[in-house]
Amino acid sequence: MRGKGGEYKGLQELLKKSDIRFIGVPKTIDNDLALTDHTPGYGSAAKYIGTSMKEIIRDSFCLEYEKGVVSIVEIMGRNAGWLTGSTALSQ
């Protein structure tokens, strides 16, 4: 079983009710699991968000406004902010 938080609670219930062995694999794109260098899905999520930000910036340059353009983008992340940080570092 792969996932985080709630999925593992379900896994614990399955373990209590059956003799089948299960394996839990942590999965989160937030890259906020302790004792790991990176988590599955983080690299592709960071690349996708970085590319999306570049497209937003290019679109704002193409729009002809007399005053500056403000774009507000919300990027998910629980506690660490690794996705936001990787987006800020993308070139």
30-87 confidence digits (pLDDT tens): 777 777 777 778 888 889 999 999 888 888 878 766 667 788 888 887 777 888 888 8
Question: What are φ and ψ of residue 61, in 5° steps?
Answer: -70, -30
pTM of the model: 0.65
With a cut of 80, say whether residue 11 has pLDDT above it: no
In sequence order, which residues have a C-beta less than 8 Å from that of residue 22 and are 6 or more positions away?
Answer: 1, 11, 14, 15
61-70 confidence digits (pLDDT tens): 787 666 677 8
Complete DSSP assignment for 37-48: S--TTHHHHHHH
Q: Which residues are catalytic?
A: 30
